[in-house]
């Protein structure tokens, strides 16, 4: 029997991540003047992409196939994007919202991997996969530079949240507090990166 993974806290983190990533996917299609069908496809792809890859890798049932609300959230977000001008979503506001989805999803991914018996380091990596792969797939299909190619702290924020989730589990801190703290820490790092353009040093040798 599969372990019961999702609690109310993780449920909200899950839907928050799905909704925010779905919006970023729909907006990519909107800026390219695509049809609603394409917008809905990009919303679903971005919203569930990372979680789908995670579930396949850890041997869990693919989450959105067994929860009808997830696809409905993605389609609802696509409708929202369809009926609103893209200028409403431009600028740092979307980056700030995306940062919350990124770190919440990283926590969810790491926590779920741990519950399925994945060792600590791979579990943390599953958190990173959950938070970033949907956006990577979106960018590849849209022909855009991938988020992996940005110097700013993005994947690093997901890695921080996922790592703290794993550490908190093994230290024995109450899970809900770990999840909230790990999300806040990664989100704080992402906000700092947005505010001050923080980035990791790039390779400088010929």
What is the residue-wise DSSP string for 88-105?
GG-SHHHHHHHHHHHHHH
Whether 201 maps to a domain, the answer reads no
The answer as to whether 116 is a domain residue is yes
Q: Is residue 3 part of a domain?
A: no
d(CA 99, CA 112) in angstroms, rounded, equals 20
The pLDDT profile of the chain, 206 residues, written as one tens digit per residue, is 344 445 666 677 678 789 989 999 999 999 999 999 999 999 999 999 999 999 999 999 999 998 888 999 999 999 999 999 988 887 787 888 889 889 989 999 999 999 999 999 999 999 999 999 999 999 999 998 887 887 779 999 999 999 999 999 999 998 889 999 999 999 999 999 999 989 988 887 76
Is residue 27 situated within a structural domain?
yes
Could you tell me the sign of the dihedral formed by the alpha carbons of 64, 66, 69, 72, in that order?
positive
Those residues with Cβ within 8 angstroms of residue 145's Cβ, 6 or more apart along the chain or in another chain: 139
How far apart, in whole angstroms, are the C-alpha atoms of residue 130 and residue 52?
8
Domain residues for 24?
8-196
Taking each helix axis as running N to C, give the angle between helix 68-82 and helix 36-58, from 0 to 180 degrees, rounded to the nearest 10.
Answer: 150
Backbone torsion region of residue 80, taken as left when φ is above 0, otherwise alpha when ψ lies between -120 and 50, otherwise beta:
alpha
The answer as to whether 39 is a domain residue is yes
What is the number of structural domains in the chain? 1
Spatial CA neighbour of 161 closest among 188, 128, 186: 186
Residue 13 domain-assigned (yes or no)? yes
Domain membership flag for residue 203: no
Measured between alpha carbons, how far is residue 38 from residues 71, 124, 187, 200 in Å? Answer: 15, 32, 30, 34
The greatest distance separating any two alpha carbons of the chain, rounded to the nearest whole angstrom, comes to 53
Q: Does 206 reside within a domain?
A: no
């Amino acid at each position: 029997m599969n372990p019961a993974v999702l609690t109310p806290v993780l449920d909200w983190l899950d839907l928050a991540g799905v909704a925010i990533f779905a919006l970023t996917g729909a907006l990519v299609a909107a800026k390219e003047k695509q049809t609603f069908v394409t917008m809905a496809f990009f919303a679903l792809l971005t919203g569930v992409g990372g979680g789908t890859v995670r579930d396949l890798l850890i041997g869990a049932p693919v989450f959105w196939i067994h929860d009808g609300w997830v696809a409905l959230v993605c389609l609802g977000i696509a409708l929202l994007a369809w009926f609103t001008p893209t200028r409403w979503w431009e600028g740092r506001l979307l980056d700030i919202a995306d940062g919350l989805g990124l770190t919440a999803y990283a926590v969810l991914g790491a926590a779920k991997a741990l519950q399925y018996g994945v060792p600590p380091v791979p579990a943390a990596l599953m958190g990173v996969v959950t938070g970033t792969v949907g956006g990577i797939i979106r960018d590849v299909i849209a022909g855009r530079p991938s988020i992996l190619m940005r110097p700013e702290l993005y994947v690093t924020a997901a890695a921080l949240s996922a790592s703290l989730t794993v550490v908190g589990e093994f230290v024995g801190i109450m899970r809900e507090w770990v999840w909230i703290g790990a999300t806040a820490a990664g989100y704080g790092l992402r906000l700092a990166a947005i505010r001050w353009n923080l980035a990791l040093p790039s390779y400088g040798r010929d």
